[in-house]
């Protein structure tokens, strides 16, 4: 497909998302008024879930919506567990949509502007670059998604880092609207906390194994170079 067709099609889809975002229904929800979201949920729970998914996609593409606002709306309507899980699931889906949008529509256009050194750094540390960007959002979510999509990072490390990073970050944000110190910890919240601890431990083990593997590969390459020099 020609580059101009990709750009035009991407612009049309982006415009459609923005039109939906500016609709009266969505504007009422984005005002932060729980009653607006409650009204939508009472009319149709599936409509509410679909709108929150769409808004999460917009947030991941353009970062024009505060992330915590979407999570707060989910928690206020669906409860802590339901709001947390739906926010987490939709953030993963939205991240993948943004990743593939950048790769399919924009990679050819922006590849020439991405410095080789920066691209190599992202590709060599794909998991940790995305994971840190999720847990410590020093840069907007959309920038993390687009930067990963523009590079040649494979989807697997991007997905793993997004799943684990958002699991931790969204859990913290989900506590904010409830008041962290006044939250009543029920059994399902302890299960979520155990999952977070397990995910963190798994991420640490993956990092440790990769470091060992990389060190072993470097030693093997060094030995091979020395052997070829001797011969």
For all residues of the chain together, what is the average pLDDT?
A: 75
Length of the chain equals: 231
Lowest mean pLDDT among 5-19, 70-84, 93-107, 217-231: 217-231
pLDDT in tens, 73-127: 888 888 888 999 999 999 999 999 989 888 887 766 666 666 666 666 677 778 8
Location of structure tokens 């880092």: 161
pTM, rounded to two decimals: 0.71
Q: Exposed/middle/buried for 208, CB within 10 Å: 0-12, 13-18, 19+?
A: exposed
DSSP structure string for 164-219: HHHHHHHHHHHHTTT-GGG----HHHHHHHHHHHHHHHHHHHHHHHHHHHHHHHHH
DSSP structural state of residue 17: H
Q: Which two tokens stand for residue 159?
A: 């997905």
Q: Which two tokens stand for residue 184?
A: 């009543």
Nearest to 159, CA basis, from 87, 85, 99 = 99
CA 192 to chain centre: 19
């Amino acid at each position: 497909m020609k580059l101009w067709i990709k750009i035009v099609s991407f612009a049309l889809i982006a415009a459609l998302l923005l039109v939906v975002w500016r609709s009266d229904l969505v504007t009422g929800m984005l005002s932060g008024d729980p009653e607006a979201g409650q009204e939508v949920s009472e009319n149709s729970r599936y409509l509410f879930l679909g709108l929150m998914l769409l808004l999460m996609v917009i947030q991941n593409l353009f970062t024009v919506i505060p992330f915590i606002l979407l999570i707060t709306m989910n928690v206020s309507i669906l409860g802590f567990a339901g709001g947390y899980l739906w926010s987490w699931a939709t953030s993963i889906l939205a991240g993948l949509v943004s990743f593939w949008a950048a790769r399919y529509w924009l990679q050819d256009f922006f590849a020439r502007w991405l410095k080789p050194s920066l691209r190599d750094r992202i590709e060599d540390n794909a998991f940790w670059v995305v994971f840190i960007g999720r847990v410590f959002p020093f840069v907007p979510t959309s920038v993390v998604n687009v930067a990963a999509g523009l590079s040649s990072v494979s989807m697997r490390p991007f997905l793993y880092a997004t799943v684990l990073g958002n699991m931790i970050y969204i859990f913290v944000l989900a506590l904010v609207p409830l008041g962290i110190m006044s939250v009543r910890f029920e059994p399902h919240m302890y299960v979520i906390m155990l999952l977070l601890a397990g995910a963190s431990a798994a991420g640490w083990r993956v990092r440790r194994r990769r470091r060992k593997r990389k060190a072993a590969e470097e030693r093997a390459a060094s030995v091979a170079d020395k052997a070829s020099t001797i011969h």
